Chain A
Amino acid sequence: GNSVTQMEGPVTLSEEAFLTINCTYTATGYPSLFWYVQYPGEGLQLLLKATKADDKGSNKGFEATYRKETTSFHLEKGSVQVSDSAVYFCALSAPEDSSASKIIFGSGTRLSIRP
């Protein structure tokens, strides 16, 4: 079945450090890929998305490229800020589920940024 695997946390970085959170997926067909962010005490927010191979999603300085050959969608940011501290979820929506907008989530990576 369809699944998402992302690197386990917690990840602790200093402010202005480079961030990479790895994500790989298993899916039949051509899924759409997402990164969601969950700030403390809040619901999920869509951070970025990519709907086809080689697409790059970007938002708030974060980027991720849909790599079909490696089935990956790694999240990157060049210089993190304390305000980026949150839990990040990699997710996919598989085409055979287009009758329903079911999103399959990874287990989440907790990111903590030190001032």
Chain B
Amino acid sequence: DAGVTQSPTHLIKTRGQHVTLRCSPISGHKSVSWYQQVLGQGPQFIFQYYEKEERGRGNFPDRFSARQFPNYSSELNVNALLLGDSALYLCASSLVVGGLEQYFGPGTRLTVT
């Protein structure tokens, strides 16, 4: 079975631009979470979605938004990019919203210049 997939793998954007990252969860998983991992640090929680509804949000500005589609895939959107948004963005899926078993994708490396 395919694991969590994310696209694109790498992305280079300019300050002020907008970016959309995509994630497909493991088949049968209904919950998707997004994390930001700045170089040299641990991942930080951004959002969790379950059944197309936001179930949790981390301490990130409103420039960050996300949504989940009927097929449980998800998009993370970041507006007005800043240099500090450069990071590895990880998507994780789980069967249910309170599930302890979260499976991570390989991530999207975003570089903002």
Measuring CB to CB, which residues of chain A are less than 8 angstroms from any residue of chain B? 4, 32, 34, 36, 41-46, 49, 51, 89, 91, 93, 97-108
Contact = CB atoms under 8 A, between A and B. Distances in A.
25 contacts: A34-B100, A36-B104, A43-B4, A43-B105, A43-B107, A44-B43, A44-B92, A91-B42, A93-B100, A99-B55, A99-B97, A100-B48, A100-B55, A100-B97, A101-B33, A101-B94, A101-B98, A101-B102, A102-B56, A103-B35, A103-B43, A107-B40, A107-B41, A107-B42, A108-B42
B56 A106 contact: no
Nearest to B48: A100
Indicate the member of A4, A101, A102, A103 with the most B CB atoms within 10 Å. Answer: A101
Nearest to B43: A105
A89 B42 contact: yes
A98 B48 CA distance: 12
Contact of B31 (A32, A46, A101): A101
A7 B79 CA distance: 35
A107 B102 CA distance: 19
A55 B112 CA distance: 43
